[in-house]
Structure 1
């Protein structure tokens, strides 16, 4: 048994930050943080630190930002740094790089990953979005012992939560990131106490959550109302109204039924209810017109002349 561990943390985006906060406040020693290189943003292309880097600096934790852990001089220097640190454990949370076997085998307790799904379902880069796209009503966070495959390591702990009917991927992201911190602390405690029993994943139950492509956001209103609603919740949809591109940011399922031939047509301009291809409808709650601001539907309708019979199109006509 161990009371405290020396830990190297690897992560990059906002999702990773609650896990780093939890470790930094836990009494374990976070020796170093590895994160992706800073990226230029804005008109001046100013280099912006990753969210994890900013959090690490606030705690005074040394930060390393190798371009790669697998090849080149950066990888060699990173391995030398890790060998010098000799961490008991490496924690990986949405780092964005694949760890080579030399790194996986370096810590005494290996490398642990916090993944935003109930493995073996939704391995891969975009589990949160795909859960909503596929209409799942439950998801969660799994900690696993990392192996060379993509999210294929033995599972350590998992905790689930329900997905709301109108919950967006952004809202779910925030809840899962907090849950991830809780699961991580429980996992580290289990490692210290020697109480964890790794469980192999059943590959037959797995599915892959591939990266989201921009073209996936195009809305085809000939699909069912629920499919369209899930697309809007999962990745934000877009369609064309009056020749202008509109992002559809939040929606709700409507109880109204119509002729499926009206797919894409506004059937109630008072609350922006749109017909879908299965004869059901959705209501748009928030949207953003091309060149405009994100608006709630009531605000959008006050500034735009919208009438029944107008139609959202998949392509510009």
Structure 2
């Protein structure tokens, strides 16, 4: 099949590699290069890096629906357009262009978690399983008919980062199965039940500010869901304290939420329900360290985190 691949971040790369092994990827479309780092040096998107490595032509239109670029797509004559975390809305003209349509790979079991951040929210909400869905793209947000799904179970200590990696690999294998079905005319579709849909809104840095009036279980899931970005944090001695790993201690709490209970080996914090037993943390300006190393080198002056 002649494939035009649209994607931008790391999540899209495994699928691009898989498709390029089996099909003719005539073009990769990705977001424009952005300045990054202290030197503000222009940096390729992860998808562009992989496309260059594979000698696939790369296009980076400011807006994919501009008439000039739509004409480029028409001239490429794709059988199918595969879209994975591209970052732009496709016009109806583009959706109707390929023989087999535009196929999206979405990192959730639709209709659950439509939207921008399904991976992190699955962890934050305490889901036991997540997965990947392939679907025909429609004009609504993640509303198209479902073609295939693949379930992925979450580990007890699953983080947003580890689930991201799992689903990226799963998406790469699932899209190959979907493309084969399309080519063989064996793809069966299922309309989404809008009444069962949920929305996974964008993740912001402020979301990571820990509220100790919530339960230890909720906070522990937030810590895992926002690892590695943007991370869960609180304040200790007026400095930002990022928490990277913690356990839940299911005990009755006598202290006010946020109260620190510390020894030379443990750092527990009272919550509305249970204690948060911090295992790995990072004080502002310092490196990530285990709690014992931190306590050996830092004298805590505050009585509460906040």
TM-score by length of 2: 0.95
**How far apart are the structure 2 equivalents of 1:306 and 1:39?**
40
SS across alignment from 1:201 = coil
In structure 2, the partner of 1:290 is: 284
In structure 2, the partner of 1:241 is: 236
In structure 2, the partner of 1:166 is: 157
**How far apart are the structure 2 equivalents of 1:306 and 1:171?**
32
Shift of 1:239: 0.7
In structure 1, the partner of 2:215 is: 224
1:208-260 CA-to-partner distances (Å, cap 9, x unmatched) read: 1111122211111111111111111112211111121111122222244322x
**How far apart are the structure 2 equivalents of 1:200 and 1:119?**
10
Shift of 1:288: 1.2
Task: Kindly report which structure 2 residues correspond to 1:241-260, keeping only aligned pairs within 5 A, or say none.
Answer: 241-259=236-254
In structure 2, the partner of 1:21 is: 17
Unpaired runs of 5+ in structure 2? none
**How far apart are the structure 2 equivalents of 1:69 and 1:56?**
18
SS across alignment from 1:262 = coil
1:31-77 CA-to-partner distances (Å, cap 9, x unmatched) read: 0000000000122211000000000000000000011123xxxx222
SS across alignment from 2:15 = helix
Aligned length in residues: 301
1:85-139 CA-to-partner distances (Å, cap 9, x unmatched) read: 1100000000000000111000000000000000000000000111112111111
Contact 1:218–1:237 (Cα < 8 Å) also in 2 = yes
Match of 2:304 among 297, 301, 311: 311
Unpaired runs of 5+ in structure 1? none
1:139 and 2:134 aligned: no
TM-score by length of 1: 0.92
**How far apart are the structure 1 equivalents of 2:250 and 2:199?**
33
Contact 1:286–1:297 (Cα < 8 Å) also in 2 = yes
1:34 and 2:34 aligned: no
Contact 2:8–2:30 (Cα < 8 Å) also in 1 = yes
1:196 and 2:192 aligned: no
SS across alignment from 2:121 = helix
Shift of 1:297: 2.2
In structure 2, the partner of 1:96 is: 87
- Aligned-CA RMSD value: 1.4
Bigger mean CA offset, 297-306 vs 105-114: 297-306
SS across alignment from 2:75 = helix
Runs of 4+ more than 3 Å apart: none
Bigger mean CA offset, 44-53 vs 232-241: 232-241
Bigger mean CA offset, 191-200 vs 31-40: 191-200
In structure 1, the partner of 2:53 is: 58
Contact 2:8–2:46 (Cα < 8 Å) also in 1 = yes
Shift of 1:306: 4.2
Contact 1:166–1:252 (Cα < 8 Å) also in 2 = no
